[in-house]
Amino acid sequence: MKKVIVAGAGIWGCTLARRLAEAGREVLVLEKRPSIGGNARCAVDPETGVEIHLYGSHIFHTHDAAVWKFARRFTEFNGYQHKVLVKRGGKVYHLPLGLTLVNKFFGVELAPPDLEAFLTEERRAEIFDAFFRGYTGKQWGRPPESVDPSVIRRVPTRANYDTNYFNDLWQGIPADGYGRLFERLLDHPAISVECNRAFSLKNAAEFSGSVSDVFYSGPIDELFSYKFGALPWRSLRFETETIAVADFQGTSVVNYADAEVPFTRIHEFKHYHPEGRLKASGAVSEGRDWGWASGKTVVTREYPVQWRIGDEPYYPVNDGESARLFARYREEVAAVNGGFAADGMRLTVGGRLGGYRYFDMDQAMADALQTEIGTEGATRP
């Protein structure tokens, strides 16, 4: 039976590899980087024991029952509930836009029924200027003045004191770390993994005759050597440091809304494992302390930067022009499939880089769970 190649070992590729293996296929996973996990990859810091999120904070959250069921086959979650604080003008507020933020900012004590009437156009504009204009300007590299105030109308409002950042039914951090989640996803006798090996159309010929399908989740424009030009992305630069204090900011993420502060956020990763604090204090005997016993902490400052070919792509810049460019690359995928058909091969391009879209992890997993995997020998579309 012919093999299947899964190119890219992020959450999309690992989910597909597992599905394919469980459907009876032999799977070869090729990953360009030295290790699996894609942008959700974390590493446990040997000095402190803190689990560092190497590509920015990643919290698993979903209300998709099929995704939650699938993910929990490979990990337990620790029950972490995400809160985001925002610092502005030297004061710290709770996001999202709800009673906690509004009451503190305007110095009032509103009850839930009062909020809607209180948030006049003028007050919404004040909130927008204070908390969103500078941040959005930094994030997308535009002068704060150019950020459209209509954005504020789309910022969801909560007429309550719920400061949980996500509206999802389920969330958490893998209880024994993201690394183990990815290892377990690929731990199947029919899956073999080769890291430091990139798939390209140039090396596709070597698989001819032995491979039926390629599922590729690298950048779609890179696959075609940027022949129509590069799809635009926003990139990030991370500055990480270990600090000799037990707790630096008292929470996992603080956004910095002031335009003068050059970074957008500070991540303090040990807060993603509140159970580690219980372990360090001796209140529980099981599990790891995730850095809480070290007396130190690890923080990362996040700086948005302009993306160029070769940089890590983070956020797609979705506009009419990039949509047209993406459509041209999709046509190329169809053309490749025309050529591959003679060899009985098929190319499927997906994931956040292949699909040129912002995907949360649960959406990437859901997409991989729904992607058509076909069967060996079946008629190709």
Ligand X SMILES: Cc1cc2nc3c(=O)[nH]c(=O)nc-3n(C[C@H](O)[C@H](O)[C@H](O)COP(=O)(O)OP(=O)(O)OC[C@H]3O[C@@H](n4cnc5c(N)ncnc54)[C@H](O)[C@@H]3O)c2cc1C
Q: By CB under 6 A, is residue 38 in contact with ligand X? A: yes
Q: Please say if 376 is a catalytic residue.
A: no
Token digits of residue 162: 């719920």
| Binding segment toward ligand X, per CB under 6 A, in 7-15, 65-73, 85-93, 153-161 | 7-15
Element (H, E) at 181: helix 178-186
Element (H, E) at 212: strand 211-216
CB 16 within 8 A of CB 186: no
Question: What whole-number distance in Å separates Cα of residue 204 and Cα of residue 117?
Answer: 61
Cβ-proximal residues to 213 (8 Å cutoff; 6+ apart), any chain: 4, 5, 345, 346, 347, 348, 373, 374
How many residues belong to the site for ligand X (CB under 6 A)?
A: 34
Strand pairing category for 51-53 and 42-44:
antiparallel
Q: By CB under 6 A, is residue 39 in contact with ligand X? A: yes
Token digits of residue 349: 């391009």
Catalytic residue of the set 302, 332, 362, 367: 302
Quick note: the x/- pattern for ligand X over 178-217, rule CB under 6 A, is --------------------xxx----------------x
Query: Taking the complex as a whole, how short is the minimal distance between the CB of residue 185 and ligand X, in angstroms?
Result: 11
Please say which residue, 30 or 97, places its beta carbon nearer to ligand X: 30
- The CA radius of gyration of the chain, in Å to the nearest whole number, is 23
Q: Please say if 123 is a catalytic residue.
A: no
Element (H, E) at 331: helix 320-340
CA 20 to chain centre: 23
3-class SS of residue 98: strand
Q: Please say if 114 is a catalytic residue.
A: no
Q: By CB under 6 A, is residue 301 in contact with ligand X? A: no
Please say which residue, 168 or 376, places its beta carbon nearer to ligand X: 168
Q: By CB under 6 A, is residue 335 in contact with ligand X? A: no
Query: Nearest-CA neighbor of 107 among 91, 131, 84?
Result: 91
Q: Please say if 241 is a catalytic residue.
A: no
Q: By CB under 6 A, is residue 364 in contact with ligand X? A: yes
Which residue from 4, 5, 12, 297 is in contact with ligand X, where contact means CB under 6 A? 12
Catalytic residue of the set 73, 154, 206, 260: 154
Please say which residue, 7 or 127, places its beta carbon nearer to ligand X: 7
Residues that bind ligand X (CB under 6 A): 7-13, 30-33, 38-40, 56-60, 198-200, 217-218, 314-315, 351-353, 359-362, 364
